[in-house]
A and B are shown apart, each in its own frame.
Chain A
């Protein structure tokens, strides 16, 4: 029962691995550019959970600091990404990535 009642390192790492997989799944299977970007956010946040967990169990603040920087960067990346997606919508009238594919071998 111990395993289910007290939350330890493994629980955090499992959650983060699941989040990472969801993120990868979203990026690989979805066609909508916005949903793909949401998948990327999931991947980054999975890494964040890892950093915070390891920081908690290793001691020290390095991981916390790392994740703070990642949060800021994720915001910056989202800003650039949405600007590009808006530009795509203006030129292609769609955000479906399978239809934004004019260059061929």
Chain B
């Protein structure tokens, strides 16, 4: 049935692979870093946590250089249409590497993680593996690559979540994350198989061509859509696929929580944008779907539900990590608002919002780690009076929370402003969504500001006076993150421009 390929065919395959490898250097470099870290862990003895962390940071910083070099390459599809290099992908490569670096920085600070008897071991190697997986999620153009990249992220994340082996909550979080993750990736795979059945293609631009040329059965397409959305919604932590997130965020080691809530979420959005903009025919293009339901409607419902649910339920939370988990569900809703506009401005807004979210969310988790190192608690009531004991941490946390609400002069405000302004002028339905977004932001003001209220205006019960000493390094990092959040709130032009430049997806027409 299948003849042996001739010599010339093999030659052409080899040359395609060689050409592709030239476009794949950051990923190859990071794979090498991953292996180096595992070997370092085996070779080094004694107290090696700090050495491993520094090696990871230096290695990740090195990858920025290789990513920067990719700017000179033209947009291309490589490895037989499996993978793409475009400006959109490059933006996310920078994003994930920075996210990985910040995750390592938080991990170095976290005492729970570093005081483990067995040492951190391959923890940092797994962080790097997740960076590779997330990069591949953002750049894959084939259903198979997308699935493999998602699984790479998922499998690394399950292990990271359960990394505190002696902590019952960490193990429980890992189990919950694993069960929800495995089921949703199974559903995603089933959806992919239906799409493959409809089109006989796995490359997303060819799928789009096939669907527009030959049409499709709307019922099967809706089923496939819902299944794929279930898989992606899980990664993004959007309602109604959010059930895992509060427990996992609370139980996982805080650095991992920070990493999951920014990196893995952003990767889900990158993948969604690529599938949604390139592969899927939309009702607005004249293809009528059954009952008028299509991706756009489904995503509108998910966005509105996420914003309302996340912000309302967060009001009753007593644990800071849990509160931030619900806030991250709400932020998934805001980000979806930017995607459903389906134009260049909306995409640009999503990228800016994600950049802001990276700074403020990781900053907030960093302060939570600094505080829990000193007080041993993540409970809201234990934050009473901390503002006077730890003035810098208190001020920084307040800035990050103001940014998460979306008030000026912070980076979060710029992101929200851009998303809402992209919605305006798109029609009535979009205006209503923007209104829901603004109203729920007002609700979020209440629960976010509850934390500074406890820190500055309420006295702690023990009534112990005097400052708590925090380390020099953590003070500097807190201050830098806080200043950057404020700085980009005022001088956002470079990032907005870079995001606008990056809002170009291979094979998608955005206008």
Residues in A lying within 8 Å of B, measured CB to CB: 20, 23-24, 27, 33, 36-37, 39-40, 43-44, 46-47, 50-51, 53-54, 58-63, 65-66, 69-70, 73, 76-77, 80-81, 83-85, 87-88, 91-92, 97, 100-103, 105
Contact = CB atoms under 8 A, between A and B. Distances in A.
B168 A47 contact: no
Contacts of B174: 84, 87-88
Contact of B186 (A43, A51, A81, A102): A43
Contact of A50 (B168, B193, B250): B193
B316 A105 contact: yes
A30 B192 CA distance: 26
Contact of B190 (A47, A83, A103): A47
A83 to B, nearest CB: 8
Given A54-B197, A103-B247, A33 B179 contact: yes
Contact of B172 (A24, A81, A102): A102
Interface in B136-189: 143-144, 147-148, 151, 155, 158-159, 162, 165-166, 168-169, 171-175, 178-179, 182-183, 186-187, 189
7 contacts: A44-B186, A62-B200, A76-B155, A84-B158, A88-B174, A91-B171, A103-B169
Given A54-B197, A84-B174, A103-B250, A69 B144 contact: yes
Given A77-B155, A87-B162, A103-B173, 10 more contacts: A50-B193, A62-B202, A70-B147, A76-B151, A81-B158, A92-B168, A92-B171, A101-B172, A102-B172, A103-B246
Interface in B26-68: none
B251 interface: yes
A85 B175 contact: yes
Nearest to A87: B171
B193 A100 contact: no
Contacts of A65: 144
Nearest to A44: B186
A95 B197 CA distance: 38
B194 interface: yes
B183 A66 contact: no
Contacts of B201: 62
A54 B175 contact: no
A84 to B, nearest CB: 5
B428 to A, nearest CB: 36
Contact of A80 (B158, B173, B192, B202): B158
Interface of B: 2, 143-144, 147-148, 151, 155, 158-159, 162, 165-166, 168-169, 171-175, 178-179, 182-183, 186-187, 189-190, 192-194, 196-197, 200-202, 246-247, 250-251, 316-317
A31 B189 CA distance: 24
Given A50-B190, A51-B196, A80 B169 contact: no
A33 B180 CA distance: 12
B189 A44 contact: yes
A43 B181 CA distance: 13
Contact of A47 (B155, B159, B179, B189): B189
Contacts of A102: 168-169, 172
A23 B246 CA distance: 25
Contacts of B196: 50-51, 54, 62-63, 66
A24 to B, nearest CB: 8
A87 B147 CA distance: 27
B193 A43 contact: no
A61 B144 CA distance: 13
B358 to A, nearest CB: 26
B172 A100 contact: yes
B316 to A, nearest CB: 7
A88 B172 contact: yes
A81 B157 CA distance: 12
